[in-house]
Amino acid sequence: MCKKPPARPSSVRKPDNIARGLASVSRSPRRSARKHAQALRMSDRSVLRILRSDLSLHPYKLQVVHALINRDREMRLQFCRQFVRILAENPDLPNKLLMSDEAHFHLHGTVNKQNFRCWSAANPHELHQRPTYDPKFTVWCAVWSRGVTGPYFFEDEDGKAYHSHIATSHRDDK
């Protein structure tokens, strides 16, 4: 005798569960979909479908920016104008530039924006301001016509070295 296959379970995306999902997100829009699923006692996949398809919500990332004052904006604009004048006088300057960048490793109080989402129907354009001078250490490296210079690991205000490795590699012009 052949057994009849079990019936497909009914959908969790019913009006009452959609309303529960909306209430949960309204109370805690920064909670992850997984945490909403745990609170609602539903599967992660069902909650994601409710949030995206039924409620038309999207997970927006937090933007981390430096707090700027009016004086900072004016100084940046002044530098740009001055640099445009310098380039007009010396068009070969970009070939003589050393291009560098640094990475700042904050010691506390930072937000990992990769793990931060805010569920909303429209982008809230939410910003997280952090102090400009919070404790951190900096790693610097440069690229120029002679190769790569760095990385250099800088010390803090107390002279403590966070990392003592300094490597420099460049092409010898012989």
What is the C-alpha to C-alpha distance for residues 11 and 5, in angstroms, rounded to an integer?
Answer: 18
What is the C-alpha to C-alpha distance for residues 109 and 76, in angstroms, rounded to an integer?
Answer: 27
Domain ranges of the chain: 12-56, 60-170
Q: Residue 126 in contact with residue 118, Cβ under 8 Å?
A: yes
pLDDT tier at 49, thresholds 50, 70, 90: very high
How does pLDDT run across 90-122, given as a tens digit for each residue? 988 877 888 888 876 667 656 555 556 777 888
How does pLDDT run across 121-145, given as a tens digit for each residue? 888 777 777 666 667 677 889 988 7
Sign of CA dihedral 10, 11, 14, 16: positive
Burial class (CB in 10 A: 0-12, 13-18, 19+), 29: middle
Of the candidates 159, 137, 119, the one whose C-alpha atom is nearest the C-alpha of residue 22 is: 119
Which tokens hold the place of 103? 């990475």
pTM of the model: 0.42
Q: DSSP states of 127-158 as a string?
A: EEEE-TT-SEEEEEEEEETTEEEEEEE---TT
